[in-house]
Amino acid sequence: MADLLLPLDEALARLVAALPSPSFPEVRADRDDPAADLAAMDGVALRSEEGRGPRRLLGTLYAGDDPGAFTVMPGTAVRIMTGAALPAGADAIVPVEELREAEGLIHPLSDPEPGGHVRRKGGQAHAGDLLLPADQPLNVARRALRAWVGQPVPLPARIRVAVASTGDELVADPRPHQIRDSNGPMLAALAHALGADVERRPALPDDPGALAAALRSPGDARILLTSGGVSMGEHDHLPSVLKDLGATILFHKIRLKPGKPMLAAQLGDLLVLGLPGNPVSAYLNALLFLPVALARLEGRALPDPWRRARLAAAVRHKGDRPLLHPCRLAEGQLHPLPGKGSADLVTLARADAFAWIEAPGEEPGAKVRYLTVL
């Protein structure tokens, strides 16, 4: 049976392949960078050929000042601040800590070298140089680079994520055979923490017609997170309703414990992430798949959520699927918690991390990868 389940990496790859990512133009230098010789340190700009001879100060240049106000002739220098353009005649900077002032003159305490402490014109790039190929995922530094060459850099749009739990058992004031909706607030908080624009929607009943109506009217949501209704029960209608609506099922059921019933589908422009109903499964599946979907749709590099640490105690695992086991993270080690299954919200709330455990388990000191709980 395990061989029929989709491995996690393959499920993530299918999700990435199905989602369009924004295209971005290449970045070329619109001018030399720097566009002029610039001071790399606070100090004085002078002619290096005059060595340690005293100089008369002509004035001061700050970053952004027009250096044409001064020309450095023999026996003169200009006080200059970091980032300011060198005046004509100067070819070196002597930093302030290597200067002495006496009787109205400035005295270098070291021999200036041509180009010393100067960022040369074109030292980083020349006009027309390719700085970044087209369609590179954007990060903060790449946005800065685009602004540097004069390209427009709008803030990334927040992806609208709608959250709707499913199930007739969800009520505000539950009787013993009913429960409150904890998945909805949990998933909304997670989507918010990941930078999405979140919309909480009312819980959906176990009714194919109501479910189909909700899917036909996604509003402005780009991603719909549901929890429940994706397993094999008589009221698990989401997979069949999506198929009836003509959705493309990217995958259904993955090789992971907890979280096996996970479903992902494309319905027009709407990505539906059908999460299992148990809270631990719903949380872990959302933690694995939602950041990837958001990054792809925003045009960012795909995130790597995995970290590595050693287990402080053994974790036994007799199953045929990789296990994500709850742990506390202390002093750089993973301390396994006695979890009680995928419905154990109490242990989820106490956990700092979930360790990836292959059968038959891992011994104390084993280095394993883990997900951090947000």
Convert the pLDDT of each residue in 56-82 to its tens digit.
999 999 999 999 999 999 999 999 999
Between residues 58 and 153, the one the model is more confident about: 58
State the pLDDT confidence band at 326, using cuts at 50, 70 and 90: very high
Do 161 and 284 belong together in one domain? Answer: yes
Do 129 and 273 belong together in one domain? Answer: no
Do 57 and 191 belong together in one domain? Answer: no
Is the pLDDT at 287 greater than 60, yes or no? yes
Do 193 and 270 belong together in one domain? Answer: yes
CATH number at residue 86: 2.170.190.11
What are the tens digits of pLDDT across the range 167-220?
A: 777 777 888 888 788 899 999 999 999 999 999 998 888 889 988 998 998 899
The alpha carbon torsion through 138, 188, 247, 264 (nearest 10 deg) reads 70
Question: DSSP strand E in 221-331: where?
Answer: 223-227, 248-252, 263-267, 270-275, 306-311, 315-316, 323-330
Q: How many whole angstroms separate alpha carbon 291 and alpha carbon 187?
A: 12
Q: What is the pLDDT averaged over residues 121-139?
A: 95
The one-letter amino acid at 110: S
Q: Parallel, antiparallel, or unpaired: how do β-strands 248-252 and 263-267 relate?
A: antiparallel
CATH number at residue 224: 3.40.980.10
* Phi, psi torsion values for 255, nearest 5 degrees: -85, 80
Q: What is the pLDDT averaged over residues 77-88?
A: 98
Q: How many whole angstroms separate alpha carbon 370 and alpha carbon 367?
A: 10
Do 91 and 198 belong together in one domain? Answer: no
In total, how many domains does the chain have? 4
Counts for the chain of helices (H) and strands (E), in that order: 7, 23
* Phi, psi torsion values for 186, nearest 5 degrees: -65, -50
Q: DSSP state, 228? A: S
Half-sphere exposure of 345 (CA within 13 A, CB side): 11
Q: What pLDDT is stored for residue 232 in this prediction?
A: 64
* Phi, psi torsion values for 248, nearest 5 degrees: -90, 115
Q: What pLDDT is stored for residue 234 in this prediction?
A: 62
Which of 124, 100, 111, 134 lies closest to 49, judged by CA?
111
Do 135 and 47 belong together in one domain? Answer: no
CA angle 298, 303, 308 (to 5 degrees): 170
Share of the chain above pLDDT 70, in %: 98
Q: DSSP state, 60? A: E
Parent domain of 131: 27-31+124-148
Do 141 and 192 belong together in one domain? Answer: no
Decide: 235 and 206 in contact? Cβ < 8 Å: yes
Q: How many whole angstroms separate alpha carbon 374 and alpha carbon 369?
A: 16
Decide: 369 and 346 in contact? Cβ < 8 Å: no
Do 282 and 178 belong together in one domain? Answer: yes
Do 162 and 283 belong together in one domain? Answer: yes
The one-letter amino acid at 4: L
Do 225 and 273 belong together in one domain? Answer: yes
Do 160 and 18 belong together in one domain? Answer: yes
What are the tens digits of pLDDT across the range 247-272?
A: 999 999 999 999 999 999 999 999 99
User: Of 298, 328, 360, which residue is a domain's last?
Assistant: 298
pTM for this one? Answer: 0.86
Do 254 and 161 belong together in one domain? Answer: yes
Decide: 289 and 305 in contact? Cβ < 8 Å: no
* Phi, psi torsion values for 68, nearest 5 degrees: -65, -10
Is the pLDDT at 2 greater than 60, yes or no? no
Q: What is the pLDDT averaged over residues 325-332?
A: 96
Q: What is the pLDDT averaged over residues 8-12?
A: 97
Alpha carbon 190 to its chain centroid, in Å, reads 14
Q: Parallel, antiparallel, or unpaired: how do β-strands 105-108 and 76-80 relate?
A: unpaired
Q: What pLDDT is stored for residue 180 in this prediction?
A: 82
Q: What pLDDT is stored for residue 1 in this prediction?
A: 43
| Tokens found for residue 268 | 């027009």
Q: How many whole angstroms separate alpha carbon 111 and alpha carbon 105?
A: 17
